[in-house]
Structure 1
Amino acid sequence: MTVITHNRRRSRLSTLVDQPGGVSVGVALTEARANLARYESRSREIIEQQVTALAALPVPTGVDEGALDQAYAHASAVIDAAGPFELNDLCAAAANLCDLIDAAPEDRPFDWRVVTVHAQALRLLLTLPPEAVDARAKVLDSLKDMLKAKVPGAIDEPSPPLPR
């Protein structure tokens, strides 16, 4: 029996990774937050542009997949711009609209009032101060109620507590 052996060369990267140095996780996160903060105002501009474009979409006549695709794209863009800055209420409202569009039957016209209400809710969420937690929660609860009404079973309700 013949055994073939060869010398393994360590890569330069593995040598660098094994050496001490670099920055701590805390410092890296602080630097990342500082770098990200530079883009927050631009993110808000993008969100406002997308909400304005969503509100400006003309009401389609009949079944119009193109109009739904545009509304979905604007809502997705809001999520993309708001997500990195933990604007969770804006993300939730936009995701709610996406869920409604996803669940829309292809053979019937979409109730465009849903898009209008979501655009208005997104505008309201943009103008509310961060400390208006209750008002933000009410807006999101109303949008969830719309999703429940339009798409039964879309939101799982928590189970009632079991009797003891």
Structure 2
Amino acid sequence: MTVITHNRRRSRLSTLIDQPGGVSVGTALKQARANLAEYETRSREVIEEQVSALAGMKPPSSPDEASAALDQAYARSSAVIDAAGPFEMKDICTAAANLCDLIDAAPEDQAFDWRIVTVHAQALRLLLTLPSEADDARAQVLDSLKDVLKAKVPGAKD
């Protein structure tokens, strides 16, 4: 009986993986934070622009304009989440996501209570101006926004 054997060659990738080197996870995270820090100022500018745009939105004057205005408010709120997320601005993200949830849950056959957008814009402005150590004030603002969600959306989660 004849047995045929093949010499298995190691792939280049497996050779590279098995070799020591590279950077540690801690060093990589530190470098990533430093790289990301360069963009934090621009991120805050984007957040402030979007919050100002939300605050400046006027209630739609007709049902035809309502859908487009809600889409615009949703897009601005989503932009806030996108800009705040990488910098762990969890309270800003939570407030903006709350507005998105309210817009998502709005019944199409009823007029949207535009005060919701105004209140969220004011809350976002307040969260941006509060000092980072004002945890109680931040929690109170977010709890109030959750109350709006519970009042406007039946069965909303806590």
TM norm structure 2: 0.91
Local SS of the residue matching 1:147? helix
Match for residue 136 of structure 2 among 134, 139, 150: 134
1-side partners of 2:80 and 2:104: how far apart? 16
RMSD: 1.6
1:90-129 superposed matches below 5 A: 90-129=92-131
Whole-angstrom CA distance in 2 between matches of 1:138 and 1:84: 23
Structure 1 CA distance for aligned equivalents of residues 80 and 156 of structure 2: 21
Aligned-pair CA distance for 1:12: 2.2
Deviates more, 1:9-18 or 1:91-100: 9-18
What is the rounded CA distance, in whole Å, between the counterparts of 1:73 and 1:134 in structure 2?
Answer: 29
Match for 1:110: what amino acid?
F
Give the equivalent residue in structure 1 for 2:53.
53
| CA distances 1:2-37 after superposition (whole Å, capped 9, x unpaired) | x99766543322321221111111111111111111
Q: Which residue of 2 aligns with 1:85?
A: 87
Indicate the SS of the match to 1:134: helix
Aligned-pair identity in percent equals 79
Unmatched runs of 5 consecutive residues or more in structure 2: none
- Note the residue ranges of structure 1 that are not aligned, 5 or more in a row: 157-164
Assess if the C-alpha contact under 8 Å between 1:47 and 1:78 holds in 2: yes
The whole-number CA distance in structure 2 between the counterparts of 1:131 and 1:30 is 24
Alignment: residue pair count: 154
User: What's the TM-score once normalised by structure 1's chain length?
Assistant: 0.88
